């Protein structure tokens, strides 16, 4: 599987940690951005992508220049179930 993801997370957030473990468990390459010390960045993403809470998971489409929003933890679980069938 040649897919790369970007996880935007808070280090102490339960759902963020679960998302990280899911990526690890499935052997998926990912970039991790922790927003604990920069909440402004999370608020920017929240407003840009209409999400309410971390984590945010993006899938890179072409290299690292183009990406699409997968969503939060539940969307990641659904996505992984679909691609690992």
Mean pLDDT of the chain, nearest integer: 91
Q: At residue 39, does pLDDT exceed 70?
A: yes
Convert the pLDDT of each residue in 55-77 to its tens digit.
999 999 988 888 999 999 999 99
Distances in Å between the alpha carbon of 45 and those of 8, 15, 51, 68, 83? 9, 17, 8, 13, 25
CATH code, domain with 36: 3.40.30.10
Give the domain range for residue 53. 4-83
Calpha distance 62→4 (Å, rounded): 10
Q: What percent of the chain has pLDDT over 70?
A: 98
Confidence (pLDDT) at 46: 86
Counted domains in the chain: 1
């Amino acid at each position: 599987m040649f897919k790369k993801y970007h996880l935007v997370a808070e280090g102490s957030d339960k759902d963020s940690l679960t998302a990280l473990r899911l990526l690890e468990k499935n052997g998926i390459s990912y970039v991790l951005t922790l927003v604990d010390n920069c909440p402004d960045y999370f608020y920017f993403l929240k407003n840009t992508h209409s999400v309410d809470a971390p984590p945010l998971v993006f899938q890179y489409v072409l290299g690292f220049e183009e990406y699409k929003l997968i969503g939060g933890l539940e969307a990641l679980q659904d996505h992984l179930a679909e691609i690992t069938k």
